[in-house]
Amino acid sequence: MPLSSSFQNRVLPRLKQLYGADAEQTLARIAPLAEKYTHLKRPTREPLWDERDTILITYGDQIQPDDPSAGQTALHEQTEFLKAHKLEGLLKAVHILPFSPYSSDDGFSVIDYREVDPNVGTWDDVAEMGESFDLIFDLVLNHCSQHSQWFQDYKAGKAPYTNYFIDVDPATDVSQVTRPRSLPLLTPVETTEGTKHVWTTFSDDQIDLNFAHPDVLIEMLDVLLGYAARGARIIRLDAIAYLWKRLGTSCIHLPETHEVVKLMRDVLDEIAPGTILLTETNVPHEENVSYFGQGDEAHMVYQFSLAPLLLDALLTGDGSVLMGWLSDLPDWTPGTTVFNFTSSHDGIGVRPLEGLLAEARFANLIQAVRDRGGHISTRRKADGSDSPYEMNITYFSALSGPGGESDEFHLRRFLTSQAVMLALRGIPGIYFHCLVGTPNHEAGVQETGRAR
């Protein structure tokens, strides 16, 4: 299937901004992908979403089989669980959190993007769930696992993987780089060429990919289209804000990052029409909605400010800040919408409160979460200090009594939080632990050393 002239006219300027003299050659490398995935050229469902769209967010191994030795898989078991509880008519889609082989971060340190973790199931199990629900996959594209074959080949000096990662002189001043974690930005690794310091935004196990080289872009476009071919109706771009690196800048929300998202949108519209892009940017509201572009970037963004503002309103009994924020929300660009949720695999992000909640009230919210058994994760700021980044607590426990006690008022308050989220403009997402009302699991924190 040849690429349309309109597609080429849109994409070539983007590629020139990203790759300069290599732009035309990079465009030529997209053409074989169109041929490989020609079967994805299907009629677009109109509208792309409506009032019936409700999403379940869950891990593929959330429901464990009674007898794994009998060939049952966790993903099959979860499909059966959802059908047994008659959720097919209530949930339109299931977001299966990363289900590829991984080495850390609950799936977000991917070893092989094209395989399914055998502890979760198989591609056949994914397809089985897709027979009853629309599917949402994560494209963890900012980084991959240090145990991936890509990174092993990088360390061995094998082409083209020497282009896949970013190494920086450790003497370089990287103080301007925005940090989502209180961890070192550069990680030393041993290669056939000696010690190199590679860029690691999130952890020393998650090695950032080098999108400044066309090889990485083409590789990830193939993964993106492969997910669409495997049945993904919505593809979530994880940690997209940090994608492009340019020394001397904050390395967050760079123009090149937005161009990559627009390019992915162009590719999907051309080769796999009807596939929806969802960007994950846990940042202040105005920065978050910038990923709508002019209606030419993400179809959908997370409504990150909702969860902490709703929690603040219900704990204080004062909904003025929440209502003021909701009243100020603009009409979204046609063809875009927001994803409303109260809880997910991450903690409750607090950067989306910047500019919305007064300092004293924010401090009270942090303390209220601690009083209910929550933990606070931090990030490293440019001045070297640490500040709260997310509140690690289940939404059910966050709305309990001051000491974590539960009573009828607690239950009503929690149900109210979900009702408000479901009623708002946008597409609602229900995390599995909100669906079943899971309390904190402090023993798990102690066993793993991780607060999430």
Residue-wise pLDDT for 215-272, tens only, equals 999 999 999 999 999 999 999 999 999 999 999 999 999 999 999 999 999 999 999 9
Q: For residue 445, what pLDDT band results from cuts at 50, 70 and 90?
A: confident
Residue-wise pLDDT for 31-83, tens only, equals 999 999 999 987 777 899 999 999 999 999 999 998 877 889 999 999 999 99
The secondary structure of the chain in percent helix, strand, coil, rounded to multiples of 5, reads 40, 15, 45
- The closest alpha carbon to 121, from 91, 90, 85, 78, belongs to 78
Distance between CA 144 and CA 201 in Å, rounded? 11
Secondary structure tally for the chain: helices H, strands E:
15, 15
User: In this structure, what token pair is assigned to residue 383?
Assistant: 């001045």
Distance between CA 127 and CA 210 in Å, rounded? 32
Q: Where are the beta strands (DSSP E) in 241-282?
A: 276-279
pLDDT above 80: residue 308 = yes
- The closest alpha carbon to 172, from 184, 183, 189, belongs to 184
Q: Are 165 and 151 in contact (CB under 8 A)?
A: yes
Of 142-156, 191-205, 264-278, 378-392, the one with minimum mean pLDDT is: 378-392
pTM for the whole structure:
0.96
* 176-195: burial string, b at 16+ Cβ within 10 Å, e else: ebbbbbeeebbbebeeeeee
pLDDT above 90: residue 27 = yes
- The closest alpha carbon to 262, from 9, 10, 50, 4, belongs to 10
Q: Are 206 and 143 in contact (CB under 8 A)?
A: yes
* 41-59: burial string, b at 16+ Cβ within 10 Å, e else: eeeeeeebbeeebebbbbb
DSSP secondary structure string for all residues of 337-372:
EEEEES--SS-EESGGGTTTS-HHHHHHHHHHHHHT
The mean pLDDT of the chain is 96
Residue-wise pLDDT for 153-181, tens only, equals 999 999 999 999 999 999 999 999 999 98
Which alpha helices (DSSP H) does 107-213 contain, by range?
123-130, 149-155
Residues with a catalytic annotation lie at 238
Q: What is the pLDDT of residue 382?
A: 77
Instruction: Tell me how far apart the terminal alpha carbons of the chain are, to the nearest angstrom.
Output: 45
Which alpha helices (DSSP H) does 134-202 contain, by range?
149-155
Distance between CA 11 and CA 267 in Å, rounded? 9
Q: What separation in angstroms does the CA of 360 have from each of 318, 323, 343, 365? A: 15, 19, 24, 9
Q: What is the pLDDT of residue 452?
A: 64
User: In this structure, what token pair is assigned to residue 1?
Assistant: 């299937």
Q: What is the pLDDT of residue 442?
A: 81
Q: Which residues contact 450 (CB under 8 A, 6 or more apart)?
A: none
